[in-house]
Structure 1
Amino acid sequence: MKGVTLTIDITSLPAERIAFAVSPLAELTSMLHVLAEPGHHPALSGWATATLAGLKPALADRLLEAEFLWRSSRADFLVPGRPGPDLAAELDAVDRLGDEVYVAAALVTTCGSSRLSVKRASPLTDPAAADRAVELAQARGPRQAAFAERLLADPPVVRAAVRELLEACADAFFADAWRQVEHRLAADARHKSELHARRGLAAALTAVSPAVTLDGTRILLDKLQDNHTSAEGDGVTFIPSVYGRPHLLTVHAPGWRPVVQYPAADRHDAAPLPLDLVRRRLDALAHPVRLRLCRTLARGAHTTGELAGAWELSAPEVSRHLAVLKRAGLITTVRRGRYVRHSLDVSATATLGADLLASLLR
């Protein structure tokens, strides 16, 4: 089985097209992810509890209905390749996207690991693609299915509702939180830019994360995907995040400027150990297939079929590995109708060590 690395080709890319910048929209959706998955962010549990307690019931209900939009993955347009001066400007840029681009990106959050199956034909014009998108969304859950159906039926109405929800979050909690972290994020981006200018890209990437390295004309990211994209003619954007820690989030779909959202430097935090070192410490997760399945399940619940499709394995082989993980108490299983979905037990995994958890959640 191949290694798990996301490669960004920067051959012939001018240095000035590698940018370090802050993004209010990316940080807002990082906060929303924390509210949806507080177990991934124990250092922010106090903030998450206080924020959720302070929400008006109507907004809390709307966030609960929409949490799949940022719980396991985020639509590419929520992590801007060209950050704007403020949240309103970034949302305006999203509004300028065509419906087909917006819908294809939004469906990633409802179709799990099956991004490739919905990009070959537009579900707005191809009935078979629309049916497939809804079928994949149904496997994820009733909220995902309802969202996919509404989005395909009337994109402008859904787009307006998503923007309105993000603006409501800005009024409720984001504006205050952003004021507290904006200067820190700007300082982090400025520091990385200065490192890039003075000491080169390799030094800047080392400061970004131990999971990001430079190999000649390629940026390598230790990520869940085994994939490749190119920055030629466009560029790469690196966005620091306070609320995104410990995740290393990437945008790499064809047609989008590659983006890497990384944890902002914090002198109080130790850098997460490389995954290879963690793997050597833990005999229970030494098998590479089970380790990769855990990294997939750390992003959200998946069916056996989804896991098999994502890793090009047979369903019986995946079932055997899931049985081992379940006997070890590392995953939980829930049946919803005809679908059986598996999730990483974050609390159980955390007992094995913070370094392991941070590596799985990258």
Structure 2
Amino acid sequence: MSVTIDITGLPPERIAFCPSPLAELGNALHALAEPAHHVRQHAWTTATTAALAPCLADRLHEADFMWRSTRSDFLLPPQPRETLAEELDDLDLMDDELFVGAALEISCSNSHYGRGTPSPLVDEWARRRALDLAAARGPRQAAFVERMLADPTATRAWIRRLLEDCDEAFFADTWRRVRIQLAADARHKTELLRRKGLAEALADASPALSLEEDEHGTRIVVDKLVQGRTDARGSSVTLLPSAFGWPHLIALYAPGWQPVIQYPVATREVGGTEPVETVQLRLEALAHPMRMRMCRNLARGPYATSELAHAFGITAPEVSRHLAVLRKAGLLTTQRRGRYVLHQLDFSVVARLGSDFLESVLR
């Protein structure tokens, strides 16, 4: 599964790497709402949460569905600015239907995201759906959505004040700290794009980003546990580096929006680099009870096929079939000793499986 962005014929100058203060604020708010996702930011989330004024903390809780499970699309600006104020000014120019529709996406499980839905301001079905999803998240969220649908202009002003108050309370200092790193990363990716091409720049941004080229065209592929596609031909693609992003990789591909990808910087750590398909293959290989039992032996030492057949009371061909599945998933190492081929569990791969799986579902 993946999100694909068709960029056939798109000039390189229409692909931009650039940091965004609004996008980074959205990620910072997500880290405060879901600190368990962001163990690398534990010190920051703990200190910032402790220092929040109770009134601001309550307001953040009221609106946190816009950044808790995913980021509302308006938090990923396609034309980043130097300052948060400039990006908020751009938001003020967005019409109410588009802004409210983006704000009330609410859940990352929305199956209609890639197809688009009418604005809840003009469509009764979309209105009921937004109210139902909000009600499932508690009375505060339900009241907030009802207020937004009744008076979108006043609620948008409330959201802007909230983001400005966050900037004053904690984000301005945080942005001064991280913007240098993000600007340097964007310059490096831009130089890679210029000198070595888009494939190199994407690979450097994230192992989950790649470029596909064939007779049908050229596409950016975002390896995620979702299926989606969008067309950037005649438009642009913006890639936003994020210091608070890991382990998430966000792709904005809703109809009517310029594609935006937000990727985490500095993720060169153990785990989190395997494609979703590989993680799925390994989990499926280990789900079979006989293979799980075999792994107990294979973890303790090298075994030949005949030894495993004798140990588990099954035929050698059955053992071979199970070993083939484990080997295809990359979970085994093999070595030859004389006329015997010995198999053993690859500890380095198995040790990463938990972190690879967690990163895949949070990506």
- TM (norm. structure 1) is 0.76
Q: 1:247 to 1:177 in 2, by over 3 A?
A: same
Contact 2:70–2:107 under 8 Å retained in 1: no
Could you tell me how far apart the structure 2 residues matched to 1:150 and 1:17 are?
Answer: 38
Calculate the aligned-residue CA RMSD, in Å: 2.4
> Is 1:39 paired with 2:40?
no
Question: Which residue number corresponds to residue 332 of structure 2?
Answer: none
Given candidates 11, 15, 27, the residue that maps to 2:24 is 27
Q: 1:46 to 1:211 in 2, by over 3 A?
A: same
Contact 1:104–1:119 under 8 Å retained in 2: no
Could you tell me how far apart the structure 2 residues matched to 1:285 and 1:59 are?
Answer: 46
Question: Which residue number corresponds to residue 233 of structure 1?
Answer: 234
- TM (norm. structure 2) is 0.76
Greater mean deviation of Cα atoms: 77-86 or 63-72: 63-72
Could you tell me how far apart the structure 2 residues matched to 1:352 and 1:117 are?
Answer: 30
Q: Structure 1, unaligned stretches of length 5 or more?
A: 288-349
Please give the per-residue CA displacement for 1:144-179, whole angstroms capped at 9, x wherever unaligned. 322221111000111011111111110111011111
Question: Which residue number corresponds to residue 275 of structure 2?
Answer: 274
Given candidates 97, 102, 110, the residue that maps to 2:99 is 102
> Is 1:170 paired with 2:172?
no
3-state SS of the aligned residue for 1:65? helix
3-state SS of the aligned residue for 1:214? strand
Question: Which residue number corresponds to residue 74 of structure 1?
Answer: 71
- 1:48-59 to structure 2, matched below 5 A, reads 48-59=45-56
Q: One-letter code of the match for 1:277? A: T
Could you tell me how far apart the structure 2 residues matched to 1:112 and 1:357 are?
Answer: 17
CA-CA distance at 1:284 after TM superposition: 8.3
Contact 1:279–1:286 under 8 Å retained in 2: no
Contact 2:190–2:201 under 8 Å retained in 1: yes
Contact 2:4–2:229 under 8 Å retained in 1: yes
- 1:1-362 to structure 2, matched below 5 A, reads 4-109=1-106, 112-116=109-113, 119-216=116-213, 217-265=218-266, 272-283=273-284, 353-362=354-363
Question: Which residue number corresponds to residue 306 of structure 2?
Answer: none
Please give the per-residue CA displacement for 1:99-153, whole angstroms capped at 9, x wherever unaligned. 0111111110268515459954332233343223212332343333222211110
How much identity, in percent, do the aligned residues show?
56
3-state SS of the aligned residue for 2:136? helix
Contact 2:192–2:200 under 8 Å retained in 1: yes
Q: One-letter code of the match for 1:81? A: P
3-state SS of the aligned residue for 1:282? helix
Q: One-letter code of the match for 2:164? A: E
Could you tell me how far apart the structure 2 residues matched to 1:214 and 1:143 are?
Answer: 43
3-state SS of the aligned residue for 2:186? helix
Larger radius of gyration: 2
Could you tell me how far apart the structure 2 residues matched to 1:280 and 1:111 are?
Answer: 24
Q: Structure 2, unaligned stretches of length 5 or more?
A: 289-350
Q: One-letter code of the match for 2:82? A: P
3-state SS of the aligned residue for 2:171? helix
Contact 1:111–1:137 under 8 Å retained in 2: no
Q: 1:262 to 1:128 in 2, by over 3 A?
A: closer
Q: 1:55 to 1:226 in 2, by over 3 A?
A: same
Could you tell me how far apart the structure 2 residues matched to 1:200 and 1:173 are?
Answer: 38
Could you tell me how far apart the structure 1 residues matched to 2:238 and 2:122 are?
Answer: 32
Q: One-letter code of the match for 1:246? A: P
Q: One-letter code of the match for 1:148? A: V
Q: One-letter code of the match for 1:222? A: D
Greater mean deviation of Cα atoms: 26-35 or 350-359: 350-359
Please give the per-residue CA displacement for 1:24-52, whole angstroms capped at 9, x wherever unaligned. 00001100000000111111111101100
Could you tell me how far apart the structure 1 residues matched to 2:80 and 2:204 are?
Answer: 21
Q: 1:186 to 1:351 in 2, by over 3 A?
A: closer
CA-CA distance at 1:270 after TM superposition: 6.4
Could you tell me how far apart the structure 2 residues matched to 1:172 and 1:43 are?
Answer: 21
How many residue pairs match? The answer is 297
